[in-house]
Amino acid sequence: MRRYPGLWWSLFRLSWSTHRWLTVSTLSVLLLSVVATGACALALRAAVNAMVAGEGFAAVTAAVPAVAAYAALHVLQDATATCRNAVTNRVARLEVEPGVHREVAALPGIEHLERTDYLDRLKAVRDGGTQLVGSMWRVVLTFTSVMKLLVAAGLLGSISPCLLAFVTAAAVPAVCQLKGQRLLNDSQVATMEAVRLEASLAELAVDAGAAPQIRVSGAAPGLGARREAAWAEAHRVRLRARLAASALRLGGWTVFLAALLAGIVLVVGRSASGEASVGDVVLAVTVATSLGQTVQVTVNSTVATTTAGSVIEPYLWLRRYGERARECPPAGGAEVPEALREGIRLQGVTFRYGGSDHEALHGVSCLLPAGAVVAVVGENGSGKSTLVKLLTMLYRPDSGTVLVDGRPLDRLDPEEWRARISAVPQQFGRYPLTVSESVGMGDLAGMADRERITESLRAANADELVDSLPEGLETRLGRELSGVELSEGQWQRLAMARAAMRRSPLLLVLDEPTASIDAVTERAILDRRMTHARAAGRDTGGITVVVSHRLSAVSRADLVLVLAHGRLVEAGPHAELVDRGGPYARMYAAQANAYRDERCP
Ligand SMILES: Nc1ncnc2c1ncn2[C@@H]1O[C@H](COP(=O)(O)OP(=O)(O)OP(=O)(O)O)[C@@H](O)[C@H]1O
């Protein structure tokens, strides 16, 4: 909570600098409503006292401002809501939410996009801009409500100091409601995991990718039961908290109403004994009635402000995360070489994902020679993708160093390094664009170069695919926008073509680039890429790293790195590793036997 005032102040400044007139209007109507509250009660007292004294003209003179202030109060109530909503929505949608998206995109690496703690908070904040800015205006509203309470206290105190005790009673419902809200918040936090599980299982039930296996295995009832159990668990805890909060609220308002009644009885008694005027009675009733309303607004604003903690906390967390990420930018100072001479050297590279209990890579040391085609193989989870993520600077090693021709990778500017590399990641994007746009995105500078796009498609064996599409390069892709839907392997070929847009990268990473492609085409694509990579590598020393499970497809690589449980267990050319009879030879023999068995049952 200590950082909340700072956040509200920065949101107010943002509101002031971007939507000044709306901000001024909102503040003005809020302040006018405070003045109108006091003016209405005072004018009413004067009118009633004049009437009782038989002073007709004075009564009418006082009644006019009383009616005007009363009318103004109602108009201002609507105007406050309209102005507040308008400024809140504009600042949230036009400033805060786009700011969050910019911040996410500006963070170096992708670690944050794979961390559930980051993603959970991002989800809470992404569409919560209105709640965030609204919380700042709620604070302003609470201030004006407190000012109204002070005005009411002054007016009641002018009748009798005893009535000030009645104002104190107004705090009881506020405290009770806040306590109740805390119970509700705690119950939300306690059941967050069950709610998340319920939501994930609900999504899984309608996920097209998961549907075939769910149908075939008959898992739907089991998943449904698990989902219902998660929902019931969350519902039970939340219902109990809601009942307790309602009981507290009821208790608080009962105390307030009892005090209200006692206050009115007191003033009527004083009036009967001549210590107070009839106008005082009217004033007390008017103020007391509006006090109830003011207390309600104050309580609601305070509760809404504390509820906004569910957005404010994640927002502050994301900001701190961004600040910390920016505090340790790449040291810089080293330039990305024009061409590689030695290659990329890994020295004792160790890495563990945030929240994971084991190292994905442990003490990996090797040289990826300039101009070479390097295959990275190993069983599932052995660390292959992690290795290429470190090479593409999506993550940094926890210890150890990656040297690019002797220059520490983490001293290169990530943007400059990425401008000189190219990659087909394991999870490639399916861009819902036209074919030419989808491929051209591989190098924005070449987006308009049709020849280059066609060449890139040829390099990925995707030229025939494009010829078969209704509008060739201009065919829109993706089911979402009524475009043509491609098969997994066809999408993958487009991703390969995208990576081929950069002609001579210093590092080309192909992480299972052909996993969804049939074995014959895979061999053809990889052979073609390797030939191209070797030719390009001779000029620039560019290195090609291919991650694959099909060992026969990468047997032509210059160097094979074999990973097991995050460790480099073997390295060398294919033939040498086969002769050595170690883990690689065993994996290779097992795959060859399986292939033979398949062909000769
Ligand atoms: N985002 C992540 N958060 C936490 N742990 C992760 C994450 N990604 C991978 N891991 C873990 O790191 C280890 C290495 O994963 P990696 O993806 O590098 O393996 P891989 O060899 O590429 O596997 P596969 O052949 O299945 O693609 C695994 O134990 C995996 O569970």
| Average pLDDT of the residues of the chain | 84
Quick: pLDDT tens for 388-409.
989 988 888 999 999 999 999 8
* Residue 235 confidence (pLDDT): 94
Instruction: Count CA atoms within 13 Å of residue 543 on its CB side.
Output: 22
Question: How far is it, in rounded angstroms, from Cα 182 to Cα 281?
Answer: 38
| Residue ranges covered by each domain of the chain | 336-420+505-601, 429-503
Ligand 1 contact via 356 beta carbon (within 6 Å): yes
- The CATH number given to 336-420+505-601 is 3.40.50.300
* Residue 331 confidence (pLDDT): 54
Question: How far is it, in rounded angstroms, from Cα 510 to Cα 490?
Answer: 16
Q: Is the pLDDT reported for residue 596 higher than 70?
A: no
For residue 215, how far is its CA from the centre of ligand 1 (angstroms)?
A: 28
Ligand 1 contact via 381 beta carbon (within 6 Å): yes
Measured in whole angstroms, the distance separating CA 64 from the mean position of its chain's CA atoms is 54
Q: Does domain 429-503 have CATH number 3.90.550.10?
A: no
Q: Which residue's alpha carbon is at the smallest distance from atom 31 of ligand 1?
A: 381
User: Which ligand 1 atom sits closest to the C-alpha of 386?
Assistant: 18
Residue with tokens 């494009």: 466
For residue 137, how far is its CA from the centre of ligand 1 (angstroms)?
A: 45
Q: Is the pLDDT reported for residue 456 higher than 80?
A: yes
Ligand 1 contact via 383 beta carbon (within 6 Å): yes
Residue with tokens 């030939």: 531
Q: How confident is the model at residue 377 (pLDDT cuts 50, 70, 90)?
A: very high
Q: How far is CA 282 from CA 29, 35, 291, 369, in A?
A: 26, 19, 14, 93
Q: Which residue has the higher pLDDT, 499 or 533?
A: 499
* Residue 597 confidence (pLDDT): 53
Max Cα–Cα distance, the chain, nearest Å: 119
DSSP 554: G
Can you read off the two tokens belonging to residue 98? 């786009």
User: Which ligand 1 atom sits closest to the C-alpha of 547?
Assistant: 22
Q: Is the pLDDT reported for residue 329 higher than 60?
A: no
**Quick check: 132 and 311 in contact, CB under 8 A?**
yes
For residue 521, how far is its CA from the centre of ligand 1 (angstroms)?
A: 27
* Residue 601 confidence (pLDDT): 46
Pairing relation of β-strands 399-404 and 567-572?
A: unpaired
Ligand 1 contact via 514 beta carbon (within 6 Å): no
Ligand 1 contact via 382 beta carbon (within 6 Å): yes
For residue 570, how far is its CA from the centre of ligand 1 (angstroms)?
A: 19
Long-range contacts of 569-573 (CB under 8 A, 24+ apart): 571/366
**Quick check: 363 and 350 in contact, CB under 8 A?**
yes
Q: Supply the Cα-derived Rg of the chain in whole angstroms.
A: 35
Question: How far is it, in rounded angstroms, from Cα 556 to Cα 71?
Answer: 87
Q: How confident is the model at residue 374 (pLDDT cuts 50, 70, 90)?
A: very high
Quick: pLDDT tens for 561-592.
999 999 999 999 999 999 998 899 998 888 77
Residue closest to 425 by CA, chosen among 546, 524, 517: 546
User: Which ligand 1 atom sits closest to the C-alpha of 563?
Assistant: 21
Residue 47's identity, in one-letter code, is: A
| Ligand 1 mutation pick, 386, 427, 567, max ligand atoms within 8 A of CB | 386
For residue 352, how far is its CA from the centre of ligand 1 (angstroms)?
A: 10
* Residue 25 confidence (pLDDT): 94
Q: Is the pLDDT reported for residue 417 higher than 90?
A: no
**Quick check: 543 and 343 in contact, CB under 8 A?**
yes
Strand order in the sheet with 407-408: 361-369, 343-351, 399-404, 407-408
How much is the average pLDDT of 547-570?
Answer: 88
User: Which ligand 1 atom sits closest to the C-alpha of 512?
Assistant: 27
Ligand 1 contact via 109 beta carbon (within 6 Å): no
Question: How far is it, in rounded angstroms, from Cα 544 to Cα 551?
Answer: 16
Q: Is the pLDDT reported for residue 436 higher than 50?
A: yes
Residue with tokens 């994996």: 587
For residue 145, how far is its CA from the centre of ligand 1 (angstroms)?
A: 55
How much is the average pLDDT of 68-89?
Answer: 90
Quick: pLDDT tens for 82-135.
999 999 999 998 988 888 888 887 776 666 777 777 887 888 787 788 989 999
